[in-house]
Homo-oligomer: A and B are copies of this chain.
Amino acid sequence: MNSLYPRFSFQTQYQDKFSKAKVATLVTPHGAVTTPNFIFCATKAAIKGLTPAQMKEAGTEIILSNTYHLMLQPGGKRVERRGGLHRFMGWDGPMLTDSGGFQIFSLGHGSVANEIKGKRLTHRQKTLLKISEEGAVFKSYLDGALHTLTPESSIEIQRQLGADLIVVLDECTPFHVDKSYTEKSMHLTHRWGLRSLEEFKRTNSGQQAIYGIVQGGVYPDLRKIAAAFVNSHPFFGIAVGGSLGATKEQMAEVVNSVMNEISPQRPVHLLGIGGISDIFNGVREGIDTFDCVHPTRLARHGGALVRPDFWLKNDGSGGEHISLKGSRFKDDDLPIDESCPCSTCKTFSRAYLHHLIKAQELLVYQALTIHNVTFMNRLMRAIRTAIIENRLEEEQKNWMQV
């Protein structure tokens, strides 16, 4: 492996005594990430509303961008000519790009994003025109132009973007397909995975490391096959993708069936998952990194992530966030969270944030995003500390009602 990834390493620092949870260090050419950690989505080469400096100040170690969006605008070659994604967007820390497959299949089949969490299909214009052994043909969401994405072209574009961590192309199957389709699709994903790996080896500069991907839908036996496949090839890391089921219990079972197969020597990323209980469950299964648009998207809808003590001190209605839109905040002089060190909680009251939402002031998106990013980074830091101190179970009570 070292010859493929000379500038990368993944080292367990502390193994939890009660579960597969571990604290580890993932070293990339742009610095180290301590895991478990959360990867924030800079979908189109920008965190929505925050500068790279603000992300750093909020404790962020790693972000991701989406190949699908960037290949269409401004284009992989253009980003390469600008010096790559790091330089283009001014982020000098570790970064991941996905393969582009998720969005092609998500927009093509309907919303896979919802399906990962077991939600029902919503109607969308279908943009996926063809899936073949070669790759996928789809229409651009911007101008309707036809594009083909193959395992090789996905790697080529991810080379142009230049993120530290890149991902093989997979077919991301929708929730409603049957086991037979899921199985066929999984094998296609494996063939695409090997082609991606070959293309990676052929063009390897030593500056990037590639993740294989585990599909297999909600079927634990397929997930085991997929995990064993990825395990047996020299991918640097492993991403767990696709539909994880309709309930939290099903997600836990699927993740468990994958993680029982995977050796802890490689970093494992759980794609698109960012709920607090899902993170605690994933960490216990040995998942090292998570990503989700939730913390930043929630901020743009006026929501702030809070710990259960918010509800204990207030009306007790519970939940992982509060909506500052609510008129009950209009005379509330407290910050979102008195114990939060973020600049929003140090500067603004709930009443002021409520006012900004009512007045439709741009500032509120930035302010809530800073809080939610800080919240996720504090959560992950607390999880790492708790693993080292063998009190993960106890720590969970500080972050969710259990």
Partner-B contacts on A (CB < 8 A): 44-53, 69, 73-74, 78, 81-83, 88-90, 300, 330-331, 333, 343, 347-349, 351-352, 355-356, 358-359, 361-363, 365-367
Task: Compute how far the CA of A372 lies from the CA of B8 in the bound complex, rounded to whole angstroms.
Answer: 41
With CB as the reference atom, state the residue of chain B lying closest to A332.
B82
Contact of A49 (CB < 8 Å), options: B347, B355, B366: B366
Complex contact A74–B355 (CB within 8 A): yes
Chain B residues lying within 8 Å of A351, measured Cβ to Cβ, are 74, 78, 82, 88
Asked whether A333 and B82 contact (CB < 8 A) given A44-B361, A347-B53, A361-B44, the answer is yes
User: Given A352-B89, A356-B46, is A52 in contact with B347 using a C-beta cutoff of 8 Å?
Assistant: yes
Give Cα A83 to B349, complex, Å: 11
B331-A81 in contact (CB<8A): yes
Q: CA A347 – CA B47 in complex, angstroms?
A: 14
Contact check, B358 vs A74: say whether CB atoms are below 8 A apart: yes
Give chain B nearest CB distance to A251 CB in angstroms. 31
What separation, in Å, do the CA atoms of A129 and B366 have in the docked complex? 38
6 shortest A-B CB distances, which residue pairs? A90-B347, A49-B362, A44-B359, A46-B361, A46-B363, A74-B355
| B50 & A352 in contact (Cβ 8 Å cutoff) | no
Give the docked Cα–Cα distance between A311 and B44 (Å). Answer: 30
A377 to B144, CA, bound (A): 44
B82→A349 contact, CB < 8 A: yes
Query: Cβ of A78: which chain B residues have Cβ within 8 Å of it?
Result: 330-331, 351
A365 touches B367 (CB 8 A): no
Report the separation of the CA atoms of residues A83 and B348 in the bound assembly, to the nearest whole angstrom: 12
Determine the chain B residues whose CB is within 8 A of the CB of A47 once the complex forms: 363
Chain B positions within 8 Å of A366 at CB level: 49, 51, 362, 366
CB proximity of A353 to chain B, nearest CB, Å: 10
- Give chain B residues whose Cβ lies under 8 Å from the Cβ of A88: 349, 351-352, 355
- Taking CB atoms, residues of chain B closer than 8 Å to A358 are 73-74
Q: Give A90 to B363 CA distance when docked, in angstroms.
A: 12
> Contacts of A300 on B, CB cut-off 8 Å?
362
How distant is A261 from chain B, measured CB to nearest CB, in Å? 39
Residues of B within 8 A of A367 (CB): 51
Chain B residues lying within 8 Å of A69, measured Cβ to Cβ, are 359
CA gap between A173 and B365 in the complex, in Å: 37
**Complex: A152 Cα to B84 Cα, angstroms:** 61
- Whether B363 pairs with A48 at a CB distance below 8 angstroms is yes
Determine the residue in chain B with the shortest Cβ distance to A45. B355
Query: What residues on B are CB-neighbors of A347 within 8 Å?
Result: 51-53, 90
Given contacts A51-B347, A53-B343, list 4 more A-B pairs with CB under 8 A.
A47-B363, A51-B366, A52-B347, A362-B362
Complex Cα distance A82/B355, Å? 12
Q: Which residue of B lies closest to A88 (CB)?
A: B352
A210 to chain B, nearest CB (A): 26
Give every chain B residue within 8 A of A359 (Cβ-Cβ): 44-46, 69, 73
Closest to A364 in B: B46
